[in-house]
Amino acid sequence: MEITVKGIPVSYIENGDGDWALVLQGWGTSITLYTPIIDTLAEKYHVIAPDLPGFGETPEPPEPWDVGDYADFVLEFCEKLGITECMLFAHSFGGRITLKLMAKKDPRLKVNKLVLTGAAGIRHEPSEQAKKKAKAYQRGKKFLSSALMRTLFPNALEKFRMKHGSADYKAASPMMRQVLVKTVNEDLSPLLPMCDPETLLIWGRNDDAAPLEDGQRMEKEMPAAALVTIDNAGHFAFVDQQYLFLRVLAAFIGLSL
């Protein structure tokens, strides 16, 4: 299905009947990856799952958005569909958006139940080695950004960025690389105490993108959160251990699988 929000044609999945449930995806994914989760939630809820701008079938935003821009997008998306209250499931980048949404306390949308898995948003103090690498990267970037180097070697700066960038950065378009830089550099950990719905945190023990310690901190600092850890699972715990993940999710929303 499709609806236009902020001038962007947004592709979304709709499934089930009942109270509303909203699914927010992780960075670089298509919402179809979350079909098992959508189908499980649809046993009880009327599920809406959009491809966020820049992901899946939805075009990129018109300019480099930050997390707040994505939160505003979700509010307008829900408003257009008549969603005023919902349970919310979010993974990874969707977790960033959720933390921002919960801090906004916007009266247009009330979240009464929340599931976060591999949620991003906590920025870690870099190691000394990482700091040295960052300084070296900035020196190289500054050198290659000079007018002379851009004239002599016009592609050198982009090649340098690609060599030193993360997998997400390398896979992203030029626009989404700017979005990635803006979003990952914002530390949302001060917002954790404002995330007050009843919350289930489901974490893969081997998550190397949003480490387990992030889930443990969220459990400690969110007012009504409980953490379930899944062994032999990483950042996509719902793929690595799908059966167990869905059983945990179902129990939380009052279903028996």
Per-residue pLDDT of the chain (257 residues; tens, 9 = 90+): 999 999 999 999 999 999 999 999 999 999 999 999 999 999 999 999 999 999 999 999 999 999 999 999 999 999 999 999 999 999 999 999 999 999 999 999 999 999 999 999 999 875 455 444 545 546 655 666 777 667 766 775 566 556 656 788 888 999 999 999 999 999 999 999 999 999 999 999 999 999 999 999 999 999 999 999 999 999 999 999 999 999 999 999 999 76
pTM of the model: 0.88
Q: How far is residue 234 from each of residues 41, 131, 220, measured CA to CA in Å?
A: 22, 26, 21
Q: Fill in the DSSP letter of residue 124.
A: P
Strands (E), 38-179: 46-50, 85-91, 110-117
Cα gap 1→249, rounded to integer Å: 25
Which tokens hold the place of 151?
Answer: 């004239």
Compute the chain's Rg from CA coordinates. 19
Measured distance CA(106)–CA(85) in Å, rounded: 11
Parallel, antiparallel or unpaired: strands 198-204 and 225-230:
parallel
Is residue 119 a contact partner of residue 95, using CB atoms and an 8 Å limit?
Answer: yes
Contacts of 125 (CB under 8 A, 6+ apart): none
* Extended strands (E) in 60-178: 85-91, 110-117
Secondary structure letter of residue 166 according to DSSP: -
Could you tell me the CA-to-CA distances from 52 to 16, 206, 230 in Å, in that order?
20, 26, 27
